[in-house]
Amino acid sequence: MLNEQRVEDAIKIFTFLTSEFPNSANAYDSLGEAYLKNGNQDFAINNYEKSLALNPNNENAERVLVGLAFENRNTQKFYKLYIKQEYVDDLDELAHTLTTVNSHPYKLMQKEDFWRVVNEKKTANNK
């Protein structure tokens, strides 16, 4: 139904599936997708979060949630111009925080590649 642009019908079906199969991560993932196509980000986020709670390995739900968070970020937050040393210090702190706080810091990138990119950015000639 989603492929046929019958989004409202898909929402009804997936809502029914989540009520009949409340432990189905796939049903919530599909309902999240339908709500996203319908333009209702709040409901989409809610259902993707339920899907991820039921299946922490659901990479699709995780990817969509990260994408929505990035899309909805405050673009005015980083209006200050940094000197290179401030940028390097912030990047170093961020990299160390990401690798110590996250339970799977190298899920999407090998450890060596991650630190290579961080070091390349820290030594770049850009201001």
Give pLDDT tens digits for 53-87. Answer: 999 999 999 989 988 888 877 666 666 667 788 88
Structural domains of the chain sorted by starting position, each given as residue range(s) with its CATH number in brackets: 7-71 (1.25.40.10), 84-123 (no CATH)
How far apart, in whole angstroms, are the C-alpha atoms of residue 5 and residue 20?
24
DSSP 53: H
The yes-or-no verdict on residue 127 having pLDDT over 50 is: no
Round to the nearest angstrom and report the end-to-end CA distance of the chain.
50
Q: Kindly state the tokens that stand for 106.
A: 């190298």
pLDDT for res 19: 96
How far apart, in whole angstroms, are the C-alpha atoms of residue 83 and residue 41?
37
> CB count, 10 Å around CB of 109?
12
Q: Kindly state the tokens that stand for 17.
A: 């599936």
Share of the chain above pLDDT 70, in %: 91
| 81 or 112, greater pLDDT | 112
How far apart, in whole angstroms, are the C-alpha atoms of residue 114 and residue 105?
9
The yes-or-no verdict on residue 97 having pLDDT over 70 is: yes
**Chain segment 18-31, per-residue pLDDT in tens:** 999 999 999 999 99
